Amino acid sequence: MTFRTAYLMIGFAAAFLLAVVSCKKDSTTTPTPITPAGPRLILKFKFDSTQVRLNNFGLPSTIPANHAAQSPHFNKMSAHYVEFARNAFTALGAGKVVYHAPETNLGGGTAIDHDLGIEVADNGEFLNIPLTSLDTGVYQWLRVSLAYQNYDVRFSVFGSTYTGTIASFIGYKTYIGSYHIHDSLVTVNANRLQGYWAFEVDQPFFPVVTGQAPGTTVVNPLFSTSPIPAGSCVETGQFATPLHITGSETSDVVIVVSLSTNKSFEWVEHGGNTLYQPLEGDTVTDMGVRGLIPIVQ
């Protein structure tokens, strides 16, 4: 169903109680989990609407003629895969893979298990593991396969402007039990391909809409030396200064994975006013992030 079809329904047309439970203290004491000693490898997401906007090949990208776009307000993101590559010729999977999210066959084929994904907000840690998980050596590139994004966009209907929340599944394939967009719960219990989305508006007279985006930008500057499979969402970014792991580190290595959200929500523009107007024929063409820069803190 398209945005246009769903919002034509407009013309035709809780809060939870907080229970305070008292309980008796158990006579036994639960042991405190022990965190392994030693430095950690920590990765955080940063959503940057001012970062350079890139295309699939890692080159600066402008908005095509007869298109328009906006920089959404990102609420959260999850990742499926993290790999450190030594150089531009390191094939996908041949680098050091330090994280691979749970997958499942519940939907009839191998897919990312969304129910077990780790979703974090801006500056949130999505990976925190012992630094010993990363082999010693020099790494020039970071690859992060994104799985899910949730963000707010502005749109116009009948001359009024509203805010809507989009839940967008950008991994290669995702098994989805159920998920919240903002307040609304959507149940799927099936696999969905890259580009599946749902849209919820902060007004009661708008229905929840779901659909499939025709395109998802996946930035890979190494497309000629280290390609990625079609339909995947492995974003690739280069360290400004190569990351050197010696094995003698005494403090945490913290890497900010800065994602470009610069005009990442793009549509075909029919009104000529750069406002997203689904009832005026504007149709979404792209929901992919527009670049990855790994920054060592």
Concatenate the DSSP letters of all residues of 77-121 into one string.
EEEEEEEEESSTT--TTSSEEEEE--EE-TTSS-EEEGGG---B-
Tens digits of residue pLDDT in 170-198:
999 999 999 999 999 999 999 999 999 99
Tens digits of residue pLDDT in 21-61:
333 334 345 555 555 579 999 999 999 999 999 999 999 99
Tell me: pLDDT of 18 over 80: no
Cα 130 to its chain centre, rounded Å, is: 24
Contacts 24+ apart (CB under 8 A), 237-241: 237/141, 237/142, 237/144, 237/291, 237/292, 237/293, 237/294, 238/140, 238/141, 238/142, 238/293, 238/294, 239/139, 239/140, 239/141, 239/142, 239/294, 239/296, 240/293, 240/295, 241/296
Q: So what's the pLDDT on residue 87?
A: 98
Q: So what's the pLDDT on residue 253?
A: 98
**CB-based burial of residue 234 (10 Å sphere; 0-12 exposed, 13-18 middle, 19+ buried)?**
buried
- What is the reported pTM? 0.85
Q: So what's the pLDDT on residue 33?
A: 54
Tens digits of residue pLDDT in 81-137:
999 999 999 999 999 999 999 999 999 999 999 999 999 999 999 999 999 999 999
DSSP symbol at 60: B
Q: So what's the pLDDT on residue 163?
A: 94
Torsion, Cα of 54, 59, 64, 67 (10° steps): -10
131 phi and psi angles, rounded to 5 deg: -60, -25
Tens digits of residue pLDDT in 196-217:
999 999 887 788 999 888 888 9
* Mean pLDDT value across residues 156-179: 94
Average pLDDT, the chain: 88
- Is the CB of residue 286 less than 8 Å from the CB of residue 266? yes
Take residue 115 and report the two structure tokens written for it.
């129910």
The one-letter amino acid at 118: I
CA angle 204–168–70, rounded 5-degree value? 80
Take residue 206 and report the two structure tokens written for it.
């708008």
Strand partners, 103: 112
d(CA 276, CA 280): 9
d(CA 212, CA 130): 38
Contacts of 143 by beta carbon, 8 Å cutoff, 6+ apart: 81, 82, 83, 84, 85, 92, 95, 234, 235, 236
189 phi and psi angles, rounded to 5 deg: 55, 45
Q: So what's the pLDDT on residue 32?
A: 52
Q: What percent of the chain has pLDDT over 70?
A: 88
Could you count the other beta carbons within 10 Å of the beta carbon of residue 42? Answer: 17
H helices then E strands: how many in the chain? 1, 18
H-type alpha helices, the chain: 3-7
Tell me: pLDDT of 258 over 80: yes
* Mean pLDDT value across residues 249-278: 93
Q: So what's the pLDDT on residue 34?
A: 54
Domain limits, the chain: 40-216+228-296
Tens digits of residue pLDDT in 213-231:
888 899 999 999 999 998 8
